[in-house]
Amino acid sequence: MRKVKIAVLADIHGNLPAFNAVLAEIESENVNQILVAGDFLGGPYPVEVLELLNSLNACIIRGNSDDYILKIYSNPMDSEWYTSKQFSPTYWIYKQLNQNWLNFIDSLPKQEVISIHGTDEILMVHSIHLPMLPTDDSGILITDKYNKIVDSFTKKIEQPVLIFAHNHVPWNQNINERLALNPGSIGCPLNGIIGAQYALMEWKMDRWEVYLRTAYYCINEINKAYIESGFLEEGGPVAKAFLYGIKTGRDIAGMFLRFSYQLAFKKGYRNFDFIPDEIIELAEKKWDWTKYMKNL
């Protein structure tokens, strides 16, 4: 039987140095196929990441961050998708993309079934339709609820293998006689690791073996790109929270947004789709940005 090996990538989030580090590692692995489980956009290198993805002949689906770009494109220019400080990083990314790239993103499916002769079929989705997991006090995502979440989802699918992403934490288990795999995030892991996480899958003895990997790269490169590209300045506190997440391996952006929602409720806001700009500004002033950076 021929050797079959797959590289599984997810949540690149516009982090080109991290993406390059992973591609350099898998170049020597002789993979048969590269799978990309969405959220390739979300940082200061949208065009460069798209160009690189387009050159790989990979199987790519889009995630929620990629869908946000299409939300901007499909809404009126005076809508909050264009004006909200909550989505100012997304609007900066949108402005970097030409019509060809918008068409490319729109052409991508939200899920894909991968069939390789002689191996178990794979269903790849970005999210299993649940929000980001809660964090512990240090900002690391808690994954002990994965079993229940994945158990419910795998009961609804036919494929023996499920690949999902979105939560930025690598995880794999066999549930309901199915292999469930989250390769983790290339652009911003949230399990305390400062690096780029991905997975390899190899077909051995009639089943997929999973190898979770971390590629290390110079964090200063992405820090510099956030500043020099203008992404950090125009993206405001939300972009700042993303960058802090990359530099700490913790869910700074999720915690900052939850803090902002709490402030909004305290100020009497109800039933809003976008966090009010004044609340984002207030949250930036009140949030303790140094708390999670002390050990760096």
206: Cβ contacts below 8 Å, ≥ 6 apart: none
274: Cβ contacts below 8 Å, ≥ 6 apart: 80, 84, 86, 87
Is 256 a domain residue? Answer: no
Residues composing the chain: 296
Strand partners, 161: 122, 179
Which amino acid is it at 264?
A
pLDDT in tens, 62-93: 999 999 999 999 999 989 999 999 999 999 99
Is 140 a domain residue? Answer: yes
Banded model confidence at residue 292, pLDDT cuts 50, 70, 90: confident
Is 223 a domain residue? Answer: no
Structure confidence at residue 131 (pLDDT): 58
Tell me if 50 sits within 8 A of 39, measured CB to CB. Answer: no
Closest to 146 measured CA to CA, from 130, 157, 160, 123 = 130
277-295 average pLDDT score: 89
Tell me if 173 sits within 8 A of 147, measured CB to CB. Answer: yes
Tell me if 53 sits within 8 A of 26, measured CB to CB. Answer: no
Tell me if 109 sits within 8 A of 61, measured CB to CB. Answer: yes
**pLDDT for residue 1 is more than 60:** no
Average pLDDT of the chain to the nearest whole number: 94
Is 200 a domain residue? Answer: yes
Distance, CA of 108 to CA of 53 (rounded, Å): 12
Q: Is 188 left (phi over 0), alpha (psi -120 to 50) or beta?
A: beta
pLDDT in tens, 213-253: 999 999 999 999 999 999 999 999 999 999 999 999 999 99
Is 151 a domain residue? Answer: yes
How many domains does the chain contain in total?
1
89: CATH:
3.60.21.10
Closest to 92 measured CA to CA, from 281, 284, 190, 230 = 230
Banded model confidence at residue 261, pLDDT cuts 50, 70, 90: very high
Domain extent for 204:
5-215
